[in-house]
């Protein structure tokens, strides 16, 4: 009873394992395509060569042939076939079909071949920090290759051969075939043509500014769908530097998702949106759009001097309203707004705009940023948070928060993949936009679009202005910190913009890390957003209008 019923299944498996040997049938890994079906990742027909030592008749002859045809050292092959303990040894993986055909001509016994996955990235370093890469065994190791590995990898099958006690295949023995189930394909929200624009712009940014890195993100503000993402420097996905892990980790890390930085003046969008919404709500502490602020360069908070980036030696920073404050990025006015609203209200909007929390993007390693706990924030901290200091965010957080400020007040979860489907075209899963929260009202959002359009038309964002088109945005320049102190001469320059300003369809964030020479976001980052916007206008044949 015990042997037949309770122990029976295990014994059957042991018996099958003793009288059969298997050849794996590797599932074909799924392709990755852009939103229009352009193939960004696919497979090459390569094979794994392995041998069963007991079935080999002439080890020396086989070793010579394998080393010659596979480009391997003879001693290495001979030792693999004679000194390893395993009865079945892998000789080489990812062998091209041409080499397999040459080996087949020898007619060796005991040598077997199985298809494996060799990933091909047709555009080399294109979208490298998003696509990621696989291991030599075809398993996802980084990027979307890792995040969606369970869909892409499929299920392996096998061929079972009857063998004798030492593993030699029996003449006229039966063979059982268990087919592999190929992996599923994934369709991205990425638009190949927009991605090309981003790649070109960021490569030029590196060359023009001499920066440490250049990053760009383009998304649809009405859905959260990411249309383009480029980070330079990058690396060729077909030539992965596996022998230098530090370099590989640095180049493959998606900095826009995983790294944080002080946003500087781009964060003023939140402070402005909070003030506008509170004013509409009837909060008497909030300022109207017509209010004229104190033109002093300084504010004294708890005995500490908080100053503007400008020396206020000209009349640009006098008699400023909220529009003027945004146009000239005047720090003290945003301090006034934050201090008037108070810590509790400011933190309400920091939370609403999802700072200090992950966005929920379909990507591994997302950072939640760095936001001081509300209970620990002093007045002087709050005054600096108002203009983008004493807070650290990811580029993705900033882009999504800005999108929600100008799209009608809706915060959408950003995403890379829109569809998962089979080779025959059958859709297995469709991913739709996900509305995460309502951050501000439609009226407040409309006001924000107008204010930020003014920044590009008449203010610091003028280098993103496109004649005949309505563009909005905000520049940012932030000092960098090293070991807790300001790193002299090191800045992060940024610009976040959108168009058409009245009905936003595209939003772009540009971050230039440590530019050499000029470092203001207005002159360093904004021109590259303009370059990509102009490219999109041509590609999509978008008609302009006169403001």
Q: What is the pLDDT of residue 19?
A: 58
226 vs 50: which has the higher pLDDT: 226
Of 267, 261, 404, whose CA–CA distance to 334 is shortest? 267
The enclosing H or E element of 18 equals helix 8-19
pLDDT one-digit tens code per residue, 62-74: 999 999 999 999 9
Does an H or E element contain 32, and which? strand 32-33
pLDDT of residue 156: 82
SS3 content of the chain, % helix, strand, coil (to 5): 35, 25, 40
What CATH class is the domain 192-416+435-539?
alpha beta
pLDDT band, very low/low/confident/very high, at 319 (cuts 50, 70, 90): confident
Measured distance CA(281)–CA(430) in Å, rounded: 38
Backbone φ and ψ of 302, nearest 5°: 50, 40
Which of 63, 213, 252, 265 is catalytic? The answer is 265
- 206 with 232: CB under 8 angstroms? yes
- Give the CA angle between residues 305, 309, 313 to the nearest 5°: 95
Active site residue 265: yes
Which backbone phi and psi does 293 adopt, to 5 degrees?
A: -90, 160
Task: Evaluate whether 61 touches 23 at the Cβ level (below 8 Å).
Answer: no
pLDDT beyond 90 at 380: yes
Between CA 136 and CA 10 the distance in angstroms is 33
Q: 117 pLDDT exceeds 80?
A: no
User: In sequence order, what are the residues at sequence separation of 6 or more whose Cβ sits closer than 8 angstroms to the Cβ of residue 483?
Assistant: none
pLDDT for the residue 547? 42
| pLDDT score, position 270 | 98
Mean pLDDT across the stretch 78-92?
Answer: 84
Domain spans of the chain?
44-107, 192-416+435-539
Structure tokens of 458? 């008449």
């Amino acid at each position: 009873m015990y042997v037949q019923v309770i122990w029976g299944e295990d014994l059957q498996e042991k018996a099958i394992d003793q009288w059969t040997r298997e050849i794996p049938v590797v599932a074909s890994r799924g392709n990755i395509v852009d939103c229009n079906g352009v193939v960004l990742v696919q497979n090459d027909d390569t094979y794994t060569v392995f041998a069963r030592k007991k079935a080999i008749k002439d080890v020396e002859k086989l070793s010579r042939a394998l080393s010659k045809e596979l480009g391997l050292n003879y001693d290495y092959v001979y030792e693999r076939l004679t000194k390893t303990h395993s009865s079945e040894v892998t000789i080489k993986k990812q062998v091209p079909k041409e080499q397999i055909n040459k080996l087949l001509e020898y007619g060796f016994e005991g040598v077997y071949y199985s298809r494996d996955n060799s990933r091909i990235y047709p555009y080399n370093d294109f979208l490298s920090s998003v696509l990621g890469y696989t291991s030599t065994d075809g398993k996802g190791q980084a990027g979307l290759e890792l995040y969606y590995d369970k869909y892409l990898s499929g299920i392996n099958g096998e061929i079972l051969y009857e063998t004798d006690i030492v593993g030699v295949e029996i003449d006229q023995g039966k063979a059982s075939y268990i087919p592999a189930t190929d992996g599923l394909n994934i369709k991205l929200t990425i638009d190949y043509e927009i991605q090309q624009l981003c790649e070109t712009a960021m490569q030029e940014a590196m060359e023009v500014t001499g920066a440490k890195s250049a990053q760009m993100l383009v998304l649809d503000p009405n859905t959260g769908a990411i249309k383009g993402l480029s980070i330079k420097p990058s690396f060729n996905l077909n030539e992965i530097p596996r022998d230098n892990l530090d370099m590989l980790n640095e180049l493959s890390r998606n900095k826009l998702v995983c790294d944080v930085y002080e946003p500087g003046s781009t964060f003023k969008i939140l402070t402005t949106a909070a003030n506008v919404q509170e004013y509409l709500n009837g909060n008497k502490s909030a300022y109207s759009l017509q209010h004229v602020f104190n033109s002093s360069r300084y504010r004294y908070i708890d005995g500490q001097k908080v100053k503007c980036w400008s020396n206020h030696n000209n009349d640009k920073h006098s008699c400023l309203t909220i529009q003027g404050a945004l146009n000239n990025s005047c720090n003290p006015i945003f301090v006034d707004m934050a201090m008037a609203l108070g810590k509790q209200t400011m933190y309400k909007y920091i939370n609403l705009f999802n700072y200090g929390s992950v966005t929920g993007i379909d990507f591994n390693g997302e950072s939640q940023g760095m936001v001081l706990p509300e209970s620990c924030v002093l007045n002087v901290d709050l005054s600096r948070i108002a203009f983008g200091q004493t807070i650290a965010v990811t580029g993705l957080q900033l882009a999504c928060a800005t999108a929600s400020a100008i799209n009608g007040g809706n915060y959408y979860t950003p995403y890379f993949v829109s569809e998962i489907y089979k080779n025959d075209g059958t859709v297995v899963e469709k991913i739709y936009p996900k509305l995460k929260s309502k951050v501000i009202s439609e009226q407040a959002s409309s006001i924000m679009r107008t204010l930020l359009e003014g920044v590009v038309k008449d203010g610091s964002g003028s280098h993103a202005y496109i004649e005949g088109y309505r563009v909005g945005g905000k520049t940012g320049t932030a000092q960098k910190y090293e070991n807790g102190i300001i790193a002299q001469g090191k800045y992060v320059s940024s610009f976040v913009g959108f168009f058409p300003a009245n009905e936003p369809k595209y939003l772009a964030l540009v971050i230039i890390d440590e530019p050499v020479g000029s470092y203001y976001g207005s002159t360093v980052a904004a021109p590259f957003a303009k370059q990509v916007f102009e490219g999109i206008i041509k590609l999509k044949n978008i008609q302009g209008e006169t403001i």
